[in-house]
Amino acid sequence: MPPAHDRIVAKHTENRFRAAPFRHSIQPVSAEDAVFFHSSNGYAMSDPFIARGETLRQRLLNRELNADDHELFPLGYLIPQVELVLDRAEYDPATITAEAFDATCWQLIECSIGEDAMSVDDINAITALWTSICADNAA
């Protein structure tokens, strides 16, 4: 298991997420996870948080195309969670990392699972899919 690194987690505030420091083990993120934004001084800068989120979202959508029936529930559960973090997370793109997306999204997923009173099988399926999607460097 990789060493623990500083991560970002979501704190829900007025339907927005604010970044807060968090310690969590992470998976390496590939160099393809890069999106650019324009800073206030006009320079193009990388936004690895959005790039990682879009990469994970696309991986989920690709899996959904050929999913078996038993895979549809976890896919249908995770896709909106990823989209919610992409849409609502607040952070400084100049200091955020791609790895922060995984931690932010996973914390939201854990909170949602706790509120939704799911079966152990559903929780295990969601957890396994999330782990697979985050580790899938070929997709």
Q: What is the pLDDT of residues 11-40, one digit of tens each?
A: 343 444 444 443 333 333 444 444 444 444
Alpha helices in the chain (DSSP H): 48-65, 69-88, 99-116, 120-135
Number of domains in the chain: 1
pLDDT tens digits, 93-130: 888 888 999 999 999 999 999 999 899 999 999 999 99
Residue whose tokens read 């949602």: 112
Could you tell me what percent of the chain has a pLDDT over 90? 53
CB 91 within 8 A of CB 105: no
Residue whose tokens read 């500083």: 6
Q: pTM of the full predicted structure?
A: 0.67
CB 8 within 8 A of CB 96: yes
